[in-house]
Chains A and B, each alone.
Chain A
Amino acid sequence: MTNNKISSLQVGVILSFIILSTTSWIGLTDIIEIAGRDAYISVIVAFILGIISLIMILLINDKDNKFNIKKLILKIFGKYIGTFINMVIDIIMIIIGIVTLYGLSNFIISQFLSDTNIIYIYISISILVIYCVSKGIDVIARSSVILLFFSIILFLIGNISLIEEINLDYLKPVLEYGIKYPVLGGIILFLTNIVPIYIILIIPRNMISDKESYSKYIIFFYIFSMVSIFITTFITISSMGINLARMYEYPEYIILKRISLFGFLDRIENIICIQWIFRGFIMLCMIIYYVSNNVKKNSSMIFRIIVMGIIIFINLIYFKNNTMYGEFILNIYPFINLSLFMIFIIIGIRKRIVYNE
């Protein structure tokens, strides 16, 4: 009955939001471009590869773990190398934050508000994110459960209404160009969507109130989010065909424009895509929480504002238009995540070998 304990259900929900957050503006676009009609096979490949990340997380955050990932790195690698590795991971997390913020804001600008300057969207989202993080991890956890509840309702309404649009002919011929492209798409989906779940390690095991069901909930929510991505991909390609899906910038939003619910309620795509805004928001909150975790309490607010300011600034000067963004996330971003994955494998292996407490 104390109020800074998080339940493992909440950790699972945060995990699922992290995996789902980059689907809408990075993941789907990548795999549709690479794998084409067989993008759903990429999802299955990514699911299989992601089990490695899950095992890593369960190894690093095992039953007796009392430290969050930053302190753990300092303990394993010593002070100087540990601080260096922490800084590298922080920079990678900031890059993930930059990509997420640009994706979310660009989606809002291009679909909802056509003439607005993007800086207003950046500032509004940033104020909310900083406010949420300043309340602590338990508030982030609680809000994410409530937001998941609303997201599930919208997800079900959207996808059940689209079942009648599925036309399996659009998926034929299967594997026309061989298995190479879906597997490549699967690897990229794994790198862009699943590798950031290492943010979960910022929550040490002893902060969780029911420790025994931690692994159960993590596995359950991992499966849940991968099934969601699979359903979205499958419905998008089988309702629209691959040519149209390649042309659009946000195919999963366009497919929602076809919903006609009960015959009269037929312009609800703006409401159903609110769930993507929730996902991006929780992801940004977790990133800022991760980066500002070991800063002392008095200066932590200023630190968060500075980090958010850095993210906005780099967004403004680097990503001038959507084409540069598309090139970045296809060519450079997966390698950044690959290095993150490598770092965490090294941490996991070293923890097993060196640090057995």
Chain B
Amino acid sequence: MDVNKIVGRIKKDTNNVSDITYRIKYVNKKKLYIIYNEALTSSDKISDFIMRSLDYIDNKYDSNIDLINVILNEISNFKIKTINTYQDICYYLNYGFTIILIDGYSKYLVLETKRNLARGISTPTTENSVRGALDSFVEDYQTNIGLIRRRIKSNDLWFNNIEVGRYTKTIVSVIYINGICNNNLVKRVNNLINRIDIDGIIDSGTIKNLIQKENKSVFPTILSTERPDKVCQYLLEGKVIIMVDTCPFCLILPADFNDFFVNSEDNFGNSINISLTRIVRYVAFFISMITPSIYIAVTTFNYEMLPTDLLVNIAAQRDNVPFSAFFEALIMMASFEILRESDLRKPSFASSALSIVGALILGEAAVNAGLVSPIMIIVIAITSISALVFSELEMINGLRWYRLLFMIGAAFLGIFGVVLVFIYFIIKFSSLLSFGIPYSSPFSPTDIAGIKNSFIKFPTKMLDKRRKYLTNNRVKLRDSE
């Protein structure tokens, strides 16, 4: 097609928007159009590399040459491609490349001149790292891949890129280590992403919800993180990483229940200390789910479980409260959840007002007003603090739903109701599948290699095998003696 027509068509399609710049240059007496998007390209690269090279070509060669091959050969940009369709021109233009249209040729050149629009590598914002690397992913896809490649310097680190989104054309890449990771899993993930037909992907959460459609559970089955050292540890275990351009949080799948309790810095510690910490996390999980319901069950149905002094104390405290135990617990849980939610979203100028109001609701003022009893406040405080042990927000939200179910069960049938809801929780938990791996995987299809790193942590020398359900290549640590 005639280059003038192409330029005219681009101008019409983009409504002659002002950040697309068109420059005409004559090289070897042929007319070149240089088109680039000023918002996305860095002008140094264009003037330093492209313009200078074109001038050099203009000076060196005479006019009877095959200009496109000469430019391909001589231009000092490191990334250059030839394309020949109009859709490709639009794609690369929006991607930050510079398009060179040469009059008389039906192939066009695109050169990489992207401006770095991402921030620099900084510390992670949501995950604290006590003793580990402090770099985190940024919004630029190439930088993220670079951070991973720095740590895994092997030819087996493969990834394939898929473009998702009609308007956003975001690059989603599926990263795995060939030889460790299971091929069926990779094929499955690729199929799932290829089937997505959506207007746009803005961040990885959308991908997570779209490929996770089959699990209707409140517990998360995909981990997300913004730390490259964690990502590399999971890659070496045999998991698959999904990285989305423009989003620093990448997805790790498949994730099972134990992965939410394990911190990547646990490798530093002594195995006995870390085992106690893990036990504390597991106990905190159950405390956070069950404590309000046990309080309700013990003070309304099964009084014989309390020692006499405690029973008299609680009876004295509950004399003044007008509500039943179930509604009291419900009101306190709701106010704490409102507090927590507003804490996440608050603007900085409201923080001191928030802490005052929080102390009022959860403190002496509510007790003296006669709305709640003091022991309820302690129960709610223990519950809420135990829930904050986890770094994954979805897990804390998932606990909320089960906490409510346990409270309903306790109000209905006492301790037996708590047991019934507990059995329901175990059934739901065992029936979850996270991309073909059972969610209760280190415990229930029992896998010794998984249990060695779950609620007790064996010394690192003994963690020498990978998980049976993830991979066939099981040996990862060979004993050197």
Consider the complex of A and B and state whether they touch directly, i.e. have CB atoms less than 8 Å apart. Answer: yes
- A residues contacting B by CB (< 8 A) are 1-3, 7, 9-10, 108, 112-113, 116, 120-121, 124-125, 128, 131-132, 135-136, 138-139, 141-143, 145-147, 149, 264, 266-268, 270-271, 274, 277-278, 281
User: In the complex, A147→B427 CA distance in Å?
Assistant: 10
Closest A residue to B426 using CB positions? A143
Q: Do A142 and B438 have beta carbons less than 8 Å apart? A: yes
Residue B420 is within 8 A (CB to CB) of chain A in the complex? yes
Inter-subunit contact A124/B443 (CB<8 Å): no
Given known contacts A113-B414, A113-B416, A139 and B437 CB-to-CB distance under 8 angstroms? no
Chain B nearest CB, measured from A277 CB (Å): 6
Whether A3 lies near B438 (C-beta < 8 A) is yes
A308 to chain B, nearest CB (A): 15
Chain A residues within 8 Å of B433, by CB: 3
Known: A108-B416, A277-B419. A7 touches B445 (CB 8 A): yes
- In the bound complex, how far is the Cα of B419 from the Cα of A125, in angstroms? 11
A149 close to B443 (CB less than 8 A): yes
Q: Could you jot down 29 A-B contacts, CB within 8 Å? A: A1-B182, A1-B184, A1-B436, A1-B437, A7-B445, A9-B446, A108-B416, A112-B414, A113-B413, A113-B414, A121-B416, A128-B424, A131-B427, A132-B427, A135-B427, A139-B430, A142-B445, A143-B423, A143-B444, A145-B446, A146-B426, A146-B443, A266-B307, A267-B304, A267-B306, A270-B305, A277-B419, A278-B423, A281-B423
The reply on B335 being an interface residue by CB < 8 A is no
Please name 10 further chain A to chain B contacts, defined as beta carbons within 8 Å, in addition to the given A1-B182, A132-B423, A267-B306, sorted by A numbering.
Answer: A113-B414, A120-B413, A128-B424, A128-B427, A132-B427, A136-B431, A143-B429, A143-B430, A145-B446, A264-B307
Task: Tell whether, in the assembled complex, residue A267 and residue B416 are in contact, meaning their CB atoms are under 8 Å apart.
Answer: no
CB of B195 to closest CB in A, whole Å: 21
Task: Assess A146 versus B413: contact at CB under 8 Å? Given A128-B420, A267-B304, A270-B302.
Answer: no
Number of chain B residues close to chain A: CB under 8 A: 32
In the A-B complex, the 8 residue pairs with the smallest Cβ-Cβ separation, listed nearest first, are A142-B430, A142-B444, A139-B431, A143-B430, A135-B431, A145-B444, A143-B426, A132-B427
Whether A124 touches B446, Cβ cut-off 8 Å, given contacts A116-B413, A143-B427, is no
Per-residue interface assignment for chain B, residues 156 to 188, with 1 indicating a CB less than 8 Å from any chain A CB and 0 otherwise: 000000000000000000000000001010000
Query: Separation in Å of the A221 CB from the closest CB of chain B?
Result: 13
Within 8 A of A (CB), among B227-277: none
CB contact under 8 A between A10 and B413, given known A1-B436, A1-B469: no
B415 at the interface (CB under 8 A from A): yes
A132 to B424, CA, bound (A): 8
By beta carbon, the residue of chain B nearest A281 is B423
Which chain B residue lies CB-closest to A285?
B427
Report B397-421 CB contacts with A as 1/0, cut-off 8 Å: 0000000000000000111110110
Collect the chain B residues with CB atoms within 8 Å of residue A277's CB.
Answer: 416, 419, 423
Provide the bound-state CA to CA distance between A113 and B429, in Å: 28
Which residue of chain A has the shortest Cβ distance to B433 in the bound complex? A3
In the complex, residue of chain B having the shortest beta-carbon distance to the beta carbon of A120: B413
Closest approach, in angstroms, between the C-beta of A47 and any C-beta of chain B?
26
Given A1-B182, A132-B427, A267-B305: A274 and B419 interface contact (C-beta under 8 Å): yes
With contacts A142-B430, A142-B440, A277-B419 known, is A112 near B182, CB below 8 A? no
Task: Note all chain A residues with C-beta closer than 8 A to B33.
Answer: none
CA distance A266 to B420 in the complex (A): 24
CB distance from B422 to the nearest CB of A (A): 8
Contact assessment for B413 and A124 in the assembled complex, using a CB-CB cutoff below 8 Å: yes
Min CB distance, A151 to chain B, in Å? 12
B158 CB, nearest partner CB in chain A, Å: 20
Shortest CB–CB separation between residue A202 and chain B, in angstroms? 19
Partner of A146, one of B304, B416, B430: B430
CB < 8 Å: which of B306, B436, B446 contacts A3? Answer: B436
CB-contact partner of A7 in B427, B431, B437, B446, under 8 A: B446
Residues of chain A with a CB closer than 8 A to B438's CB: 3, 138, 142
A113-B419 Cα distance, complex, nearest whole Å: 14
* CB of B408, distance to nearest CB on chain A (Å): 12
Known: A112-B302, A112-B416, A267-B306. A146 touches B444 (CB 8 A): yes
Q: Does B301 contact A (CB under 8 A)?
A: yes
A139:B427 contact, CB within 8 angstroms = yes
Query: In whole Å, how far is B449's beta carbon from the nearest beta carbon of chain A?
Result: 14
Contact status of A112 and B436, CB under 8 A, knowing A128-B420, A145-B443, A146-B444: no
Complex alpha-carbon distance, A274 and B305, angstroms: 14
Task: Give the residue of A112, A125, A136, A138 whose beta carbon is less than 8 angstroms from that of B415.
Answer: A112
Report chain A residues within 8 Å CB of B417: 124
- Minimum CB–CB distance for B426 against chain A, Å: 5
Task: Return A158 CB to nearest CB of chain B, in Å.
Answer: 15
Q: How far is the CB of A265 from chain B (nearest CB, A)?
A: 9
Contacts of B427 in A (CB 8 A): 128, 131-132, 135, 139, 143
Contacts of A264 in B (CB 8 A): 307
**Cα distance, A209 to B42, chains bound together (Å):** 59
Minimum CB–CB distance from A64 to chain B (whole Å) comes to 24
**What 0/1 pattern do residues 288 to 302 of B give for CB contact below 8 A with A?**
000000000000011
In the assembly, what is the distance between CA of A101 and CA of B453, in Å?
39
**In the complex, what distance in Å separates the CA atom of A147 from the CA atom of B302?**
23
> Closest chain B residue to A268 by CB distance?
B305
Contacts of A267 in B (CB 8 A): 304-307
Most buried by A among B182, B302, B433: B302
Q: Report yes or no: A131 in contact with B426, Cβ–Cβ below 8 A.
A: no
Q: Which residues of B contact A132 (CB under 8 A)?
A: 423, 427
